[in-house]
Structure 1
Amino acid sequence: MTSSSASAVTGSARTLRRVAVCGAGVMGAQIAAHCVNAGIPVVLFDLPAREGPKSGIAIRAIANLRKMNPAPLGTPDLAELIEPANYEDNLDRLADCDLVIEAIAERLDWKQDLYRKIGPALNPHAIIASNTSGLSITSLADVLPEALRPRFCGVHFFNPPRYMSLVELIPTKYTQPELLDTLETFLVSQLGKGVVRAKDTPNFIGNRIGVFGILSVFEQANRFSLTYEQVDELTGTRLGRAKSGTYRTADVVGLDTLAHVIRTMQDQLPDDSFKAHFGLPPEVQGLIDAGALGQKTGAGFFRKKGREIQRFDAQQRDYVAADQKIDPDVAAILAVRDPAERLRQLRESDKPQAQFVWAVLRDTFHYSAIHLQDIADNARQLDLALKWGFGHKQGPFEIWQAAGWRQVAEWINQDIQDGKTLSSQALPDWATRGPVWEAQGVHTAAGSWNPSQSRFEGRSELAVYQRHIGTPLLVGEVDALETRTVFEDESVRCWTLPAPHPQDVLIVSFKTKMHTLSPGVVTGVFKAVELAEASYQALVIAQDGDPFSAGADLKAILPLFEKEGVAAVEPVERAMQDMVLRIRYAQVPVVAAVAGLALGGGCELAVHCAHRVAHFESYIGLVEVGVGLVPGAGGLAYSARRSAELQAMGAPDAPLLAYLKRFALAIASAQVSRSALDARQLGFLKESDTIVMNRQELVFVAVRQAQALASAGWRAPLPRRFPVAGRDGIATLKAQLVNMKEGGFISEYDFHIAEKVVTVICGGDVDPGSLVDEAWMMAQERQAFLELLNTPKTQERITGMLTTGKPVRN
């Protein structure tokens, strides 16, 4: 690889080293939280407090971050890294900041006053961005001092910032193009965001289309007389959208927040042909007037009374028991796999619920097509905004194209003629003739449709996107990255990347559901290690999508046990232990690229690798207790050995149990990390392991990390014995388990399993400090695992998990 090509592939934003967030409200504080999640120093500003410490408003906002759910911080202690500040005493702190994000209330005069206040204190090269969701970015730029305008743009995070991928980047006519590139690179690589560039129009892309979709749902639900819970069931996962559907999502967002966005559309889109439907239903306004704003007030469209979920009944003006049953015939239509057939059946059905679903989809297709040119550069930006900002599995144009572009366009036109649509405006010409009509869609191998330029436009050529490997494709797109398959069977695929990426690193991916460790996968991993040792410099274990691995394939193990008993399972268990040791002692470095769940055997696989590259949103843990088992693929052996290593590296007189305790209690309670940072604290990731913020950079970084280890002369560790806590450790840990049982934190059978965990992790009934090897520990694990498998209550737990997907407490 030449130096120029290396720079093109690895380029990233290193100039934005420190961030200031102005406004310590809900969004501002959470944006600050996500910056420290990424290891970026941040100063959080707000007005000076009238009482107590001058920075009291920011101090209280930071403290509140620890209590929020879902957690905005990877670990609660990160709150200490956010520096509180106020505009009266601390403006000098702005001189150190390369990016200043304004996130105060949506008042033009307040924002203008803030810009005047902070302007003289800003670093002369700093980027200034507003997180406004409703005000015109150009209007904001017009009130800025002229010298600041080229460095100003909109940067609209979606709530909650840690979990929602979408950030809309909105330039003004003044904004320097290179500034946008720098900021986009920073947002993508350093904060892990999915960035779309939006035009400066009301509500930009995501909220413009997404909130219109909500208004369409409100309108069509009334037309077809559907209840809130029926609508949520129809517009949730069955439709490829967020599980919460429409009304529950509105409750989570806040009805007042939703009303604000809708008012923006009413006030700022006077010429929109759909404007007649830009209004809140009277019952929604009534809820807002009554202070029932959704989840934050405890009641909205729904409320929880005891264990019962109730919905608001507009006619009775009170809450009634919710019943989410939908028509089984409509449920069957929504389960049809072929998208063209599914939409045809929805449109032709005489069932009101089917007609409702078709109407909601048609309205969004119609609105998106009419306004694409106004709000986005191309169709890809619009589809990604809905996927990243609203949790839709597919964007509206994807759904339309997958179902047959020409046929759906004809259906929409027919509905317009029949007066069924929310607007009589015709589809734009580009949707019904010309290149899109001929290509039968807006997404093609050449790119996505740009109606302003009347051409298909390729993806962004920013260097940061060359780091993205395995990016999910939109319907109609073609992956330009041509990987080479080295070996493939029904369980695994071994492959390499093309130039300019390293080609001397082998990658193995699992093909099982949830990437479970089936016997075939175990065999495939052995094969991958052999291939890597023979012909490559290193091996990476990486999956095509999340999760990394949900653990052992219980569906494969249970029938073996039922047919032949414990004796049939023992070889399977031993093979998994042999697999992780084969990885640990491989003659090339093995790197795990972890994202999403890495549970049970998935965790055991990862911890035995030479190095781990983990996405920030990695949830790692040994959870076998939940199915009545102990970790059986080296998890307890690893925990015992790692504790001894930490003791040797730490204070010489610190007891081994001090290090072992965190592993033992985490495993006994089936604790799963809340982030990759939390996994470090639990001990499942090391301080030396790499954490990346963008999921799509995982393979890129893992391959280069593996190559770097090999280039540095990596050698496998030598097997050696290590001390264990023995019977004294068992007694101490059991005493803590007794307290957990008596406190009601674990059941009697949980206690029984946990006893097995602490017995094995302490090395069994041996003297404290006894030296053992991995073979000894693995044998202890197998014995405990097989004994529990032979227990009726464990069998109940496994059967329950396989049947319902939920743990059984017996």
Structure 2
Amino acid sequence: MDINKVAVIGAGVMGAGIAAHISNAGISVVLLDIVPEGAENRNIIADTAVSKMMKAQPAAFMHKRNSKLITTGNIEDHLDLLADCDWIVEAVIERLDIKQDLYKKIDSVRKTGAIISSNTSSIPLHDLLNGLPDTFAADFLITHFFNPPRYMRLLEITRGEKTREEVVNAIDLFSDKALGKGVVNCKDTPGFIANRIGIYWIQVAILEAMELGLTVEEADAVVGRPMGIPKTGVFGLSDLVGLDLMPHLMESMTSTLPEDDVFHSKATIPELITRLIETGYTGRKGKGGFYRLNKEGGKKVKEAIDLKSGEYHPVKKAHLKSISASRKGGLQALISHEDKGGVYAWKVLSQVLSYAVSLLPEIADDILSVDEAMKLGYAWKYGPFELIDQMGAEFFAKRLEEDGLEIPSLLKTALKQTETGCKFYNIDNGQLQRLTLDGKYKNVERNEGVLLLSDIKLASKPIEKNGSASLWDIGDGVICLEFTSKMNAIDPEILKMINIAIERIEDDFKALVIYNEGSNFSVGANVGLLLFAANIAAWEEIEDMIESGQETYKALKYAPFPVVGASSGMALGGGCEVLLHCDRIQAHAETYMGLVEVGVGLIPGWGGCKEMLQRWVVNKKRAAGPMPPAIKVFEMISTAAVAKSAAEAKSMLLLREEDNITMNRDRLLADAKAQALSMVENYQPPEEIEISLAGPTAKTAMSMAVSGFRKNGMATQHDEVVSLALADVISGGDTDITETLSEDDLLELERETFMTLAHHPDSLDRMEHMLETGKPLRN
């Protein structure tokens, strides 16, 4: 079953977000809602929803042009628009009577076999279908998206007894490939998987923090990075979701869960939270929540609430020995520490992980579904069963027993697996396995078209390795170059490994893919290393590193085999420059590319200026004349413009027409490998491009623009210095339109200008400030 057109009914925050993300896949969408009483524009709700999404931050659309794929309307006048839709998503208010009335209307106009799904998370599927014909039930299922739909990868699917297999398979495949979702099949139980565990986790963590007398900052520091959970922790997450949602979640869960479910014992709303909601402190969307920004006195000061008094105070960094211990000793060290952080960590993990284990097979048939749901839906780095394996199942069970807590039956099953070390996950002959409910191990199988470097690592050793990079054989004559430095920052070790890869492939392999499974492809060059060298006046070493990078990237560009860069997350500065020198880029849809060196008082020094100039000069769609391409590149680099998606990167020519986009992160490596192999036969390196630039004429125009920005307060003193230096490179230096510039000419300009700025004290201040705060200095 192909899905070529979709309808979403309900243009609230969730429904509109779903429609926007479907348009991101290049699919036409119909978005309908009710007609407000007395409205002149009968489509006002859907129209307003699209307008809001155009301005939303973070952006709902991967490119603003995607909004044109959405046709707005209303339920009274435009139900006929559903007639040719292949999938109809219901995302209206959580009232059974309203949903069922809508289903009857949908059923009267939909084409035979059209799929219908509900985005509900609080009404059981069997209740939704009550009284509806079997023909409707056969095409119906629940598709539970997480908000915001573009960024949250989890999609929970629940099928009914009569749902056709073809319907489930069609939605699964479309959601996986086209929408980039991690699809988890759930049972028809309250909260499905992620919210059943996640809401319980939030409640336990908040209540225990209050009971044990922790501050908000301390609790978030413990229930955060030490557990592989985003730094927002639990109080920050509550602010993000909205405190006013908590009472509704509690009511929804307690009204549908069995009476003996332990969730009921944690379903109370503390008086502090009630008071915050009543006074408009509903989190980030309100005046604040557990945290707030105090703007008094002209400065923004982040404050946290005192959980006892309800008064706010400036945020203080948590200093707990248990957190320090966890950095070396992991979870065991964290929960074994005697300070209040260690006690709190154990209180939370003992209850939440026990609860998660006890829910199988009620909510899912396998542990992998539970772990994936929590990782994709709540951004946990590790799922509940992976966390237990980290601390040790025997250790966990012993602590439960010491506290007089019940040991869940599935944990007892894991304890019997003595040959594998009492684990929920096992590795056998390089194959990852999961423990089944009957006590056996089963191979973890990936969907067709999914290739993970983490799986390859289980079954092999690197071809080459140093402190910052590794080379892996990923089969069929293709090598994968993986960055492994902190935040995948580019340093001399990575440059060295690129050169090793070029030599090895020429001798024994066919193609190269540059890829890693970190949060970001690369945040750029190692600024700390550069600053250290500058502070000891190692200028020759700095220039050697710049020249080495230029030569390495050029060797990559003209290597006698295909090179494909596979990016995801941030690809900034030197990381962006790596990609610009690849034959092709296979970009994950959520790739954020840009040349941002001006933020640390520098310019791109490894060929970024050169590559962008070449792309804009030869671009057939650009405005005529020598000035437009240079001005465009100058604007992009001088403002540190970053594409907010792979689609935006194409508009900026950071990606070319022939570069491809992968929606699902898990499919990125396989797609990049296939792209590389498709280029092997009769491969020829690109021909070197020489371009003409306008020289001083162009620089004068750029200088006037910079001067205007400075006068209007839009640029600082050092912004002007850096921009004028950049203008010299982008204009081609001392040249004119009658001359041509080779790549080496442009690289020499880059290198000389980079070194000039690297000597500037204000640039050094910018570098130091960025390393200390993670934010650019406006000097």
Shorter-chain TM range is over 0.9
Q: Shift of residue 106 of structure 1?
A: 0.7
Paired position in structure 2 for 1:6: none
The 1-side partners of 2:304 and 2:752 are apart by 52
CA–CA distance in structure 2, aligned partners of residues 328 and 308 of structure 1: 23
Q: Hey, what does 1:11 align to over in structure 2?
A: none
* Secondary structure, aligned partner of 2:609: helix
Letter in 2 for 1:469: L
Q: TM-score, normalised by structure 1?
A: 0.90
Query: Which residue of 302, 314, 318 corresponds with 1:326?
Result: 318
Letter in 1 for 2:67: A
**Residues 1:505 and 2:475 are matched in the alignment:** no
Distance 1:431 1:314, change over 3 A: closer
Matched, 1:449 2:435: yes
Are 2:512 and 1:548 equivalent residues in the alignment?
A: no
Aligned partner letter, 2:346: W
- 2:453 touches 2:517 (CA, 8 Å); kept in 1? no
- Which residue pairs with 1:356 in the alignment? 344
For residues 295-694 of structure 1, what are the structure 2 equivalents within 5 Å? 295-306=284-295, 307-312=300-305, 319-345=311-337, 349=338, 351-416=339-404, 426-433=406-413, 436-438=416-418, 439=420, 440-445=422-427, 447-451=433-437, 453-460=438-445, 465-470=447-452, 482=459, 485-498=462-475, 503-563=476-536, 565-646=538-619, 649-650=620-621, 654-694=624-664
1:88-487 residue pairs with structure 2 within 5 A? 88-269=76-257, 270-306=259-295, 307-312=300-305, 319-345=311-337, 349=338, 351-416=339-404, 426-433=406-413, 436-438=416-418, 439=420, 440-445=422-427, 447-451=433-437, 453-460=438-445, 465-470=447-452, 482=459, 485-487=462-464
Question: Mean Cα displacement is larger for which, 558-567 or 213-222?
Answer: 558-567
Q: CA deviation at 1:322?
A: 4.1
Kindly tell me the number of residue pairs found equivalent between the two proteins.
767
Q: Distance in 1 between matches of 2:205 and 2:500?
A: 52
Letter in 1 for 2:435: W
Q: 2:671 aligns with which of 691, 697, 701?
A: 701
Aligned letter for 1:447? Answer: Q
Q: Per-residue CA shift, 1:191-224, capped at 9, x if unaligned?
A: 1111211111111110110100111123212321
Q: Deviations over 1:365-393 (max 9, x none)?
A: 22112222211111121122111111212
The Cα of 1:560 is off from its aligned counterpart by: 4.0
SS at match of 1:372: coil
Does 1:43 find its partner at 2:30?
yes
- Are the counterparts in 1 of residues 239 and 283 from structure 2 also a CA contact under 8 Å? yes
Cα distance in 1 between the residues matched to 2:524 and 2:236? 32
Matched, 1:788 2:757: yes
Whether the 8 Å contact between 1:21 and 1:101 is mirrored in structure 2 is yes
CA positional deviation for 1:447:
3.3
Provide the rounded CA distance (Å) in 1 between the counterparts of 2:762 and 2:700: 25
Letter in 2 for 1:357: A
Deviation at 1:119, TM superposition (A): 1.1
**CA separation of 1:569/1:479 partners in 2, compared to 1, >3 Å: closer, same or farther?**
closer
- Return the letter of the residue paired with 1:427: I
Q: By how many angstroms is 1:790 displaced?
A: 1.4
Which has the larger displacement, 193-202 or 169-178?
A: 169-178
Pairing 1:30–2:17 present: yes
Measured after TM superposition, the shift of residue 781 of structure 1 is 0.7
Do the aligned partners of 2:562 and 2:583 also contact (CA within 8 Å) in 1? Answer: yes
Q: Specify whether residues 312 and 144 from structure 1 end up closer, same or farther in structure 2 by C-alpha distance, changes over 3 A only.
A: farther
**1:307-348, CA deviations, whole angstroms, 9 ceiling, x for partnerless residues?**
1334455765x6422444434323323434333333322xxx
* Matched AA of 2:187: K
Q: Check 1:364–1:18 CA distance in 2 against 1; reply closer, same or farther (3 A cut).
A: same
Q: Does 1:755 align with 2:724?
A: yes
Greater mean alpha carbon deviation, residues 384-393 or residues 283-292:
283-292
1:331 maps to a residue whose letter is I
Is the 1:593–1:613 Cα contact (8 Å) retained in structure 2? yes
Superposed displacement of residue 63, structure 1: 0.4
User: Whole-Å Cα distance in 2 between the matches of residues 730 and 682 of structure 1?
Assistant: 21
Q: Deviation at 1:80?
A: 2.6
Point out where structure 1 has 5 or more consecutive residues left out of the alignment: 1-13, 418-425, 473-477
Q: Secondary structure of 2:680's partner?
A: helix
- Pick closer, same or farther for the CA change 1:327–1:564 going to 2, 3 Å: closer
For each residue in 1:553-579, what CA deviation from the matched residue of structure 2 results, as whole angstroms up to 9, or x when unmatched? 334444444445423322221121112
Q: Which moved more, 1:719-728 or 1:227-236?
A: 227-236
Secondary structure of the residue aligned to 1:255 is coil
- 8 A Cα contact 1:436 1:449, kept in partner: no
**Cα deviations across residues 599-635 of structure 1 (Å, max 9, x unaligned)?**
1111111112111110111111111111111111111
Match of 1:60 in 2: 48
Q: Distance in 2 between matches of 1:27 and 1:757?
A: 44
How far does the alpha carbon of each residue in 1:248-282 deviate from its partner, in whole angstroms, 9 at most, with x for none?
21121112322222111211112314422222122
Matched AA of 1:299: G
In 2: Cα distance, 1:434 partner to 1:667 partner: 55
Deviations 1:427-485 (A, max 9, x none): 3333225765534122224733343x554444356xxx23222265xxxxx76974574
1:778 aligns with 2:769: no
Relative to structure 1, the CA distance from residue 176 to residue 458 in structure 2 (aligned partners, 3 Å threshold; closer, same or farther) is farther
Give the conservation status (yes or no) of the 8 Å contact 1:639–1:660: no
For residues 776 and 325 of structure 1, do their structure 2 counterparts lie closer, same or farther at Cα, with a shift above 3 Å needed?
A: closer
Does the 8 A contact of 1:15 with 1:98 survive in 2? Answer: yes
Indicate the SS of the match to 2:155. strand
**Does the 8 Å contact 1:308/1:321 carry over to 2?**
no
Output the amino acid matched with 1:684. Answer: L
| Alpha-carbon contact 2:585-2:660 (below 8 Å) kept | yes
Q: Equivalents in 2 of 1:716, 1:676: separation in Å?
A: 25
Q: Is the 8 A contact 1:663 1:683 kept in 2?
A: no
TM-score with structure 2 setting the length = 0.93
CA contact (8 A) 1:302 1:309 kept: yes
Change (3 A) 1:491 1:366: closer
> 1:60 deviation in Å?
0.5
* Structure-2 separation of matches of 1:435 and 1:139: 39
- Between the aligned partners of 1:553 and 1:53, the Cα distance in structure 2 is 55
What does residue 422 of structure 1 align with? none
Q: For 2:210 and 2:538, how far apart are their aligned partners in 1?
A: 58
Distance in structure 1 (CA, Å) of the matches to 2:647 and 2:694: 27
